[in-house]
DNA sequence: CGGTTTTTTGACGCAAATCAATCACAGTGG
DNA sequence: CCACTGTGATTGATTTGCGTCAAAAAACCG
């Protein structure tokens, strides 16, 4: 039978096994229960999943796809705060602190996303210590990442930050099958909005890295040719 | 009787009532239990409470005093990440994510600090939903603050950021009895290390604000004379 | 007090933002 | 199928905010 309304209807158990997802820590029983308390949707590239100041109705679990979390600064300029991949959860900060969203979540490519009922999820988190710990771990890691970003923005120049951003993209999304193309497509402006610089500076530095054979630009795709040199350019502190 | 070894020996119940502390959410019973699982120390100004890469042995609860959490960047320059006051807890991120510290905690003034046993605390957090929620709330707020900081660093100029930092100091530590002196003493360098700029730029901007009657500099103390103008200068997005 | 640290002021140069124009392209419709 | 249009990418020219260096002044301290 063909489903028209909702062609994307995975089971949590299957999903947790296939991708190494946030919910992989749950046992079979809990996954089946979770399965009954979710609904699934597909978001097209560019679609808004949730927006700043809205109230959270549930937890979003990205089955597959790529998402950016961004906010707009004092003069309306976009700032990309987090980048999300399949298996990740989003919207959990607002849920846990009983707050409104302070980010926009926008699909970077077509993405399948499940929404877990808010009160069910909160209840589950409170009675399942493993899940509770995983949430603490998740939010702690996000805090660590954010604070690393602060140090970069404070202390590094744009060249170092652009190099660092490429390493970050690689670390988050990995390579394509060829083993050197970063597996995500961002516009130059999006890279700039993540790095905290202008689009023009980003372009100039990317083409400089291209010229010096550190990376290779193939359309919008970026290949990392010399990872070590890129690391050195990024002036990492870790 | 006079205590020589440890003159600072408060009861958690008294502390929770006096200052509005993180543990104020606990009931009497739990506070008494907590009281039995802590030890207290005084840290002199400048003393290190814990340092980067060390393993957490417990949760620090600041009874009174002021603390900076900082890390050192790629070239060894200090970056102040969080500012902490009496009633706050510190070191909880590493505890919750079972990680090493990634900050240094240093006393900005003489501070009384209690250390709660690690496994006792983790256990308490897991069986007390209220505490668990409070921890989620706490870490969520820290993440929100960090992400706001990212937006500032990315999109604001130094003037705006210095103004914002003064507002932040006021929001965190409040005023002294006179109702306009910010109740914390930081060196110009420390302000710079928080704002993400050079000491000289910080000094120049502070004296500019002083000249234009937005603030008043009295030694190291800073008075806010014109709060509205300071807010406008900070170009807040919230 | 003498010595050290912190703060302040001044001069200078550069990294990076801004402004402006062109190029490349992907859709779209006639 | 090709001109048309809009969007993103690129390159160049110009300006400037801010970091850096240097030195004086003030504050701190044993």
Residue B132 has pLDDT above 70, yes or no: yes
Structure tokens at A9: 């209807």
Contact B73 A97 (CB under 8 A): no
End-to-end, the C-alpha distance of chain A in Å comes to 52
pLDDT at B18: 85
Fold of A12-152: Jelly Rolls (2.60.120)
B222 touches strand C (CB under 7 A): no
Residue range B12-146, CATH number: 2.60.120.10
The three-class DSSP label of residue B105 is: strand
> Beta partners for A58?
A117
Q: Between chains, do B136 and A77 touch, taking CB under 8 Å as contact? A: no
Please tell me whether any atom of strand C lies within 7 Å of the Cβ of B221. Answer: no
Of the pLDDT bands very low, low, confident and very high (cuts 50, 70, 90), residue A10 is confident
Look at residue B75 in the predicted model and tell me its pLDDT: 92
DSSP B3-66: -SS------HHHHHHHTT-GGGGS-HHHHHHHHHTEEEEEE-TT-EEE-TTPPP-EEEEEEESE
pLDDT, tens digit (0-9, with 9 covering 90-100), for A126-170: 999 999 999 999 999 999 999 999 999 999 999 999 999 999 999
Cβ distance A156 to B73 less than 8 Å, yes or no, reads yes
- Chain B residue numbers with beta carbons less than 8 Å from the beta carbon of A79 are 150-151, 154-155
How close is the nearest chain A Cα to the Cα of B7, in Å?
35
Which residue in B117, B221, B164 sits closest to A73, CA to CA? Answer: B164
> CA of B101, closest CA in chain A: separation in Å?
10
pLDDT band (50, 70, 90) for residue A212: very high
Check residue A20 and give its pLDDT.
87
Question: Where do the structural domains in chain B lie, given as residue ranges?
Answer: 12-146, 156-234
Give the number of other Cβ atoms within 10 Å of residue B27's Cβ.
Answer: 11
Q: Of B40, B73, B17, B230, whose CA–CA distance to A157 is shortest?
A: B73
Please tell me which residue of chain B has the smallest CA distance to A161: B154
Q: Which nucleotide comes closest to A201 if you measure CA to C1'?
A: C16
Contact B139 A136 (CB under 8 A): yes
Chain A CA closest to residue B154: A196
CATH architecture of residue range(s) B156-234: Orthogonal Bundle (1.10)
- Model confidence at B139, pLDDT cuts 50, 70, 90, reads very high
Q: How far apart are CA A70 and CA B151, in angstroms?
A: 10
With cut-offs at 50, 70 and 90, classify the pLDDT of residue A238.
low
Pick A157-234's CATH classification: 3.40.30.10, 3.40.50.300, 3.30.365.10, 1.10.10.10.
1.10.10.10
What does the alpha-carbon distance between residue B106 and residue B157 come to, in Å, rounded to a whole number?
28
Q: Which nucleotide is closest, CA of B206 to its C1'?
A: C8
């Amino acid at each position: 039978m063909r489903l028209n309304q909702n062609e994307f209807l995975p089971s949590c158990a299957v999903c947790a096994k296939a991708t190494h997802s946030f919910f992989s820590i749950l046992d079979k029983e809990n996954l089946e229960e979770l399965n009954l308390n979710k609904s699934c949707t597909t978001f097209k590239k560019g679609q808004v999943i949730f927006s700043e100041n809205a109230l959270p109705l549930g937890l979003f679990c990205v089955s597959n796809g790529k998402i950016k979390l961004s906010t707009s600064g004092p003069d309306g300029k976009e700032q990309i705060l987090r980048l999300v991949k399949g298996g990740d959860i989003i919207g959990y900060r607002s849920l846990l602190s009983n707050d409104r969203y302070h980010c926009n979540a926008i699909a970077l490519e077509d993405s399948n996303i499940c929404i877990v009922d808010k009160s069910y999820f909160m209840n589950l988190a409170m009675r399942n210590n493993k899940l509770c710990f995983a949430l603490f771990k998740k939010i702690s890691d996000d805090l660590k990442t954010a604070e690393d970003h602060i140090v970069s923005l404070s202390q590094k120049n744009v060249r170092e930050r652009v190099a660092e951003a490429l390493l970050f993209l690689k670390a988050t999304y990995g390579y394509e099958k060829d083993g050197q193309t970063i597996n995500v497509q961002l516009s130059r402006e999006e890279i700039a909005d993540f790095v905290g610089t202008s689009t023009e500076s980003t372009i100039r530095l990317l083409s400089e890295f291209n010229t010096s054979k550190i990376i290779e630009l193939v359309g919008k795709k970026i290949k990392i040719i010399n990872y070590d040199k890129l690391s050195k350019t990024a002036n990492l502190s870790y």
